[in-house]
Amino acid sequence: MPAQYLDMDLSCRVIYPCRQEVCYFGNLECTGVKHSGDIRYIPDQVGTAEYIELDLPCLHQAGAAYVVFT
């Protein structure tokens, strides 16, 4: 069965003691976090993925308490 249209919209929220930051397709980078970009079609109909890279030492140094993926 060929792959279908899919819009994943992966995001994450970085929670600090007194503030929050959100990384998503409209905000590709925040402190210690980088989003792959919005993927809204499946190249060659074989599959794809959005991903978010975390720089754990950077997040720790910035005082991040939690990272929540949605």
Q: How far apart are CA 35 and CA 29, in angstroms?
A: 6
Q: How far apart are CA 21 and CA 38, in angstroms?
A: 18
Model confidence over 1-53: pLDDT tens digits? Answer: 455 666 678 899 999 999 999 999 899 999 999 998 877 666 666 666 788 99
Please indicate whether residue 70 or residue 22 has the higher confidence score (pLDDT). 22
Residue 35: CB atoms within 10 A of its CB come to 20
pLDDT for the residue numbered 24? 93
pLDDT for the residue numbered 70? 87
CB of 54 closer than 8 Å to CB of 33: yes
pLDDT for the residue numbered 51? 86
CB of 14 closer than 8 Å to CB of 20: yes
Is pTM beyond 0.85 here?
Answer: no
pLDDT for the residue numbered 32? 97
